[in-house]
Amino acid sequence: MGEIVRLQKYIAMSGTASRRAAEQLIDEGRVAVNGKKVTEQGVKVEIGCDTVEVDGILLKVNDKKIYIALNKPTGYVTTVKDQFDRPTVIDLVEKEIHTRVFPVGRLDYETEGLLLMTNDGDWANKVTHPKFESKKKYYAVLKGVLTIPELNKIRRGVVIDGKKTRPAECEIMEIDMGMTLVEITIHEGRNRQVRKMFEAVGHTVKALKRESIGIVELGNLPEGRWRYLTSSEIEYFRRK
Ligand code: URA
């Protein structure tokens, strides 16, 4: 089944007119759906199934699905529009993609690393749905030296926002100049989860980078750059 959208959106997606102008075309009786004139607003059509004509000319809509992996730098928000006008991750991809995509889940403004983006809402829901929650691996630089008892607490779960986190894999990679580099893999996606987990055992996260989500890895993708996901990466989340 194709995506179901309002008629004016469909017309706008075809590049014929803006949504506002499309509403006017409908008012003027110039639009037909499946060969029948439509003059009321709010009619819905299915992409790839219904036909839409304006002045008797058949419109074509590209509903090609796009799936990408971005190496998000720090200093970008993962919302589509920011209330403080800070740069968004959309700014990093839109020039080359020419299609509207949105971030799958979120990364904090200060967090860097792997962010998935798509225009496929069903797929995005699968990736982020708590029931299917994929494992996510991060590298975190902590202020102070993480002790073994603290490490074990992180692994077993700590209480953040009144609820215990699920067991996590965590390893100390390096201790240097009073800082600890850890690798941590979590299976949930709660708000600022990694930062809050380490805060709960007394350590501030100074830097945080996401390395992987499920089977998708950041690899050597340069900062601020993106790549298309492979078909097996896309299917991995669909099968969940
Ligand atoms: N955990 C955090 O604390 N921040 C992120 O951006 C992602 C996970």
Residues with catalytic roles: 108
Q: How far apart are alpha carbons 121 and 65 in whole angstroms? A: 10
The pLDDT value given to residue 34: 96
Q: How far apart are alpha carbons 180 and 72 in whole angstroms? A: 23
Binning pLDDT at 50, 70 and 90, where does residue 240 land?
low
Mean pLDDT of all residues in the chain?
A: 93
List Cα–Cα distances, 89 to 13, 118, 132, 134, in angstroms.
Answer: 22, 12, 25, 22
The pLDDT value given to residue 169: 98
For residue 111 the two structure tokens come to: 């967090």
Does residue 63 register a pLDDT over 90?
Answer: no
Mutate which of 135, 210, 218 for ligand 1 pocket (most atoms within 8 A of beta carbon): 210
What's the pLDDT tens digit per position in 145-202? Answer: 999 999 999 999 999 999 999 999 999 999 999 999 999 999 998 999 999 999 999 9
Mean pLDDT of 132-154: 95
Mean pLDDT of 46-75: 92
Ligand 1 centroid to residue 7 C-alpha, Å: 38
In 10 A of CB 31, how many CB atoms?
A: 25
**Does ligand 1 lie within 6 Å of residue 78's CB atom?**
no
